[in-house]
Amino acid sequence: MSGGENLAKLTVSGKPGSGTSTLVEKIAEVRGWKSINGGEVFRSEASRRGLSVEDFSRLCKEDLDVDRSLDTMLKGLLLSEECPEILESRLIGWWAHSMEIDCLRVWVRVSDEERARRIMERENLDFNSALSTSRQRNEDDMQRYRALYGIDLDDMTPYDLIVDADSLDAEGVFKLVNSRIGA
């Protein structure tokens, strides 16, 4: 399948706190593209259920159908005429790769410590709490994706561009990815 007018041009993935939301917002703004943020979908569903993100993540681990329904929605969007140019989620690069969607698939890699610093600032947590919460959520997610789909999130095979963002600020990450998108 080739990237037509209504198909995704870019998928962005990374662990929580890696800066994927910031990257997507900047690219959408500069290019005038529409986007959907899987993290926002996840957080909205958690809020709708009256749960914290961590509690909702645990629920998804216990009831795999909850996660499957969110993933099915995102996969369906990839093939839809309403597909935005940018999709962000932890697994969206995997889905685009397996569905042979012709788009740039980006993974933003950030160390646990840097992700904890970013989460700490965003959510007003102390560093150790942010690090512990982040590591636990990542472990829960990795176990869940392995059980659901046989996906190892440490396998970078689906990605065309892996951005090591520990030493880059948001603008540096944006410039790198935007230059790979091209005209």
Domains of the chain: 10-178 (3.40.50.300)
Structure confidence at residue 88 (pLDDT) = 95
Structure confidence at residue 6 (pLDDT) = 45
- Rounded to whole angstroms, how far apart are CA atoms 25 and 33? 9
Element (H, E) at 13: strand 10-14
Examine the pLDDT at 3 and tell me if it is beyond 50: no
Residues 121, 125, 129, 131, Cα dihedral to 10°: -10
**CA nearest neighbour of 154 among 167, 166, 168, 141:** 141
Structure confidence at residue 43 (pLDDT) = 83
Q: Give the DSSP letter of residue 19.
A: S
- Rounded to whole angstroms, how far apart are CA atoms 121 and 52? 18
pTM: 0.86
Average confidence score pLDDT of the chain = 89
Element (H, E) at 88: strand 86-88
Structure confidence at residue 51 (pLDDT) = 92
CB 33 within 8 A of CB 110: no
Determine phi and psi for 19, rounding to 5 degrees: 100, 15
Examine the pLDDT at 183 and tell me if it is beyond 70: no
> CB within 8 A of 109, min separation 6: which ones?
14, 18, 162, 163, 164, 165, 166
Examine the pLDDT at 2 and tell me if it is beyond 80: no
Average pLDDT on 25-41 reads 92
pLDDT in tens, 88-101: 999 999 999 999 99
pLDDT in tens, 62-71: 888 888 888 8
